[in-house]
Structure 1
Amino acid sequence: MAIIEVVVPELSESVSEASLIEWKKKVGDRVSADEVLIEIETDKIVMEVPAPESGVLVSIQQGNGASVTGGQLLATIDTSAAASAEVSAPKQAAPQQPAPIQHASAPQPTAPAAAAVAAAAETAAPSVKVMPSAAKMMANLGLNPADVVGSGKGGRITKEDVRNTHPQPAAKSVQVQAPVLQSIVSAQPSSLREEKRVPMSRLRARVAERLIKSQSDAAILTTFNEVNLGPVMALRAKYKESFEKKYGIKLGFMSFFVKAAVYALQQYPIINASVEGSDIIYHNYIDIGVAVGSPRGLVVPVLRDADQLSFAQIERQIADFAKRAASGKLELSELTGGTFTISNGGVFGSLFSTPIINPPQSAILGIHATKQRPVVENGEIVIRPMNYFALSYDHRIIDGREAVLALVAMKDALEDPARLLLDI
């Protein structure tokens, strides 16, 4: 027998622990080299742990939901096992069923009867899974899994299946005066009023921790302005087909927003700075984080050296980020760092918001939905596609003057896109 170990990959210095999400294999299963065994979630990304070699999974050391650290043993694989080998899994202790709830109206099974039910469940239907609430009802009614047909996922037996198999006797008819009956009916709890308790994912818990820390550590203030996106929309409409034909990617709005942010950050470097203790750290590079929604929550991959990227390069990277965020394939290195962030809630319909700074950054730009609104131009009321921009900043190092002027610079760049091309 040749046993190899499967361990947790090494985590980054900023990540101390990870959580096991779901084992894809169980003890006794054949596994192939590089086949995914389990997914591991950190507070930044989800990683897949593959089988290092082919063989049979002979042990699992940590179950779903367990907290683990880098290098910790997860499982062992027997690489010498034959393809048809049957490896007996270590017998695991059966989960303890909660004690049945005592009901005066239901006959209680005696201890021997309960033991008989348990024995019948193991011998008559070893593969049938019973939901905990259904198990309580069957214990109270003296039923075993063989008496009930499961309708749940994978044949699981639910409480409703038990009710259908053993309907409760109808209550005796009682004459009740109308006012009394009404008070009784109104006092009955609804059978649909249920609650579900789900622990936060590591990502959600980390986001919550960072946002609370941001609001407690920084003096956050938000300045607003409205931007006429008509010129950008006209430029995009004119060149989007030739742009896509040449570069193989659609020309979106985010590349314009990133370019406008770069334009402003270059004029006002303090917006691109960060705080470290009592020091201000100025960066001679511009790494812009772009907030992207994913099934696990909000993630912020970073466009490195955004000031050196073309429109096509920005669009390609953002499209790639969105695709890999949806499948959980973003790398940890792509989610760290960043000197400034753009959050575009407008794609979801947001009209107005005050974004929260992503520490240790000192500012974040919030972009919203573009709406046709009446505005005054040259003394006349006209309809224009307007968008409210919000710049939240750390007032400890950024004065209102710099924040307002930086936002005005973004507005000017978008309302006259030639500035972005001519760098003036």
Structure 2
Amino acid sequence: MSADIVVPALGESVTEATVAQWLKKVGDSVARDEPLVELETDKVTLEVNAAEDGVLEEIVADSGATVEVGARLGVLGSGSGAKKAAPKAEAKPAAPAKEEPAPKSAAKDEETEDSSADGIFMPAARKLAEEHGLDAGALKGTGKGGRITKEDVQKAIEGGAKPAAAPSPTPAAGGTSIDIPAFSRPDSAPRPKKDREERVRMTKLRKTIATRLKQAQNTAAMLTTFNEVDMSALMATRAEYKEGFEKKHGVKLGFMSFFVKACVTALKELPAVNAEVDGDDLVYKNYYDIGVAVGTPQGLVVPVLRDADTLSFAEVEKNIGDLGRKARDGKLSMADLTGGTFTISNGGVYGSLMSMPILNPPQSAILGMHKIQERPVVVDGKIEVRPMMYLAVSYDHRIIDGREAVTFLVRVKECLEDPRRVLLDI
């Protein structure tokens, strides 16, 4: 008995997907829960597994096809005896055919032409002509088959033959032309682009990223404000406690947990930064689901830390580590990617010193972290070298005023420069 393989429910607001690749071929035996095909949505890549043991009898939607929820992808036959598709165009002859040698005269002609340096020059003659830059068209061959000998070149030199003015391909037997390196095309000649280009179909994830980022630019009144933070105290705190933290919690103490906690503290004070515009309404959210942007080979994704205000430092670090691994392995679920209220993007891991992050709709603000770099700063009237980081907050001016955006960033700066504020929630 056969059963249809269908597109499963893809998650909130997702109605269609693209068939990324089939993991099995028609005729392959599959076990229950074994992956059959990968589907790519605008947010995640997911696998469709076999509902039972059987054989893949038919593929209905090929790779690259766009399919909706509930659409047929293929047919799975029950048991191991389901029919297999015949292999395509791989029929073998009953007996190996003997390879007939090429006609002796043709093989001999080809060998002679190769050994005569492109079919017109004898080797010594060719070298001498190159040294004097002679035009091949001005030389007359007296050798066998009209080939040009060394003596022919010497006579041309003594007779004052003119050097070649431009490259000139020489026709070979059969009407094809052969380029002679001595008279190659000029360096200024354009190189063909066709063989140096690769056209790749844009993935659904990449198209969605492009659409959403352009949507943010077109619909939001987006501005960016900057500040800088002295990371000395935070780095000292981390260095002092990182070994004990890792021994107790089994996870390394990074910078992201401090930034998440600092942002939550600032968001509580300035609720407009945690809100969104919905038509003619402003939606203020009294929960803090913090998105953490992660770069993957497939594109940028933003998995979400749920209720970050209730998480400990260790829980924040563990969740960020788990989400980062799932993102790089393509294992994020729809639940991991939906519902964020505010986003943190760390361009510093790639060496970015300063940037203007783009909003992640429908959110109204995003914090950009950057590279920590030692710079001279004035501290108590003295110039000191401190590890500094530029911070940037891009925000939607339709809902967030400049005062709120600047105050938010100052609160984040204060929490990072004095980590005790985060622990005491002040």
Regarding TM over 0.5, the answer is: yes
Instruction: After superposition, give the CA deviation of every residue in 1:61-104 in whole Å (9 maximum; x if it has no partner).
Output: 1111111111111111221333xx6x231788xxxxxxxxxxxx
**What is the CA distance between 1:319 and its match in structure 2?**
0.2
**Mapping of residues 195-274 of structure 1, within 5 Å:** 195-274=197-276
Partner of 1:184: 185
**What is the CA distance between 1:267 and its match in structure 2?**
0.8
Query: Contact 2:29–2:80 (CA<8 Å) still a contact in 1?
Result: no
Greater C-alpha radius of gyration: 2
**Mapping of residues 129-168 of structure 1, within 5 Å:** none
Output the CA distance in 1 between the equivalents of 2:326 and 2:275: 29
The amino acid across from 2:423 in the alignment is L
**What is the CA distance between 1:198 and its match in structure 2?**
0.6
SS of the residue 2:166 aligns to: helix
SS of the residue 1:184 aligns to: coil
SS of the residue 1:355 aligns to: coil
SS of the residue 2:63 aligns to: coil
CA 1:390 to 1:171, structure 2 compared with 1: closer, same or farther past 3 Å? farther
Instruction: After superposition, give the CA deviation of every residue in 1:130-157 in whole Å (9 maximum; x if it has no partner).
Output: xxxxxxxxxxxxxxxx99xxxxxxxxxx
Partner of 1:161: none
- Alignment partner of 1:407 is 2:406: no
Query: Contact 1:288–1:304 (CA<8 Å) still a contact in 2?
Result: yes
Let me know the Cα RMSD of the aligned residues: 2.4
The amino acid across from 2:342 in the alignment is F
**What is the CA distance between 1:43 and its match in structure 2?**
0.5
Query: Contact 2:290–2:342 (CA<8 Å) still a contact in 1?
Result: yes
How many percent of aligned residue pairs carry the same amino acid? 55
**What is the CA distance between 1:170 and its match in structure 2?**
4.0
- Alignment partner of 1:332 is 2:334: yes
Partner of 1:376: 378
**Mapping of residues 64-75 of structure 1, within 5 Å:** 64-75=63-74
Partner of 1:24: 23
Query: Contact 1:18–1:41 (CA<8 Å) still a contact in 2?
Result: yes
* TM-score, with structure 1 as normaliser: 0.79
Give 5+ residue unaligned stretches, structure 2: 94-98, 101-113, 122-134, 138-162, 168-182
**Mapping of residues 355-370 of structure 1, within 5 Å:** 355-370=357-372
Partner of 1:88: 84
Output the CA distance in 2 between the equivalents of 1:243 and 1:345: 26
Partner of 2:62: 63
The amino acid across from 2:41 in the alignment is T
Partner of 2:391: 389
* TM-score, with structure 2 as normaliser: 0.79
SS of the residue 1:180 aligns to: coil
Query: Contact 1:59–1:90 (CA<8 Å) still a contact in 2?
Result: no
**What is the CA distance between 1:17 and its match in structure 2?**
1.3
SS of the residue 2:56 aligns to: strand
Query: Contact 2:136–2:164 (CA<8 Å) still a contact in 1?
Result: no
CA 1:171 to 1:258, structure 2 compared with 1: closer, same or farther past 3 Å? farther
**What is the CA distance between 1:12 and its match in structure 2?**
2.4
The amino acid across from 1:71 in the alignment is G
Give 5+ residue unaligned stretches, structure 1: 93-120, 126-145, 148-166
SS of the residue 1:197 aligns to: coil
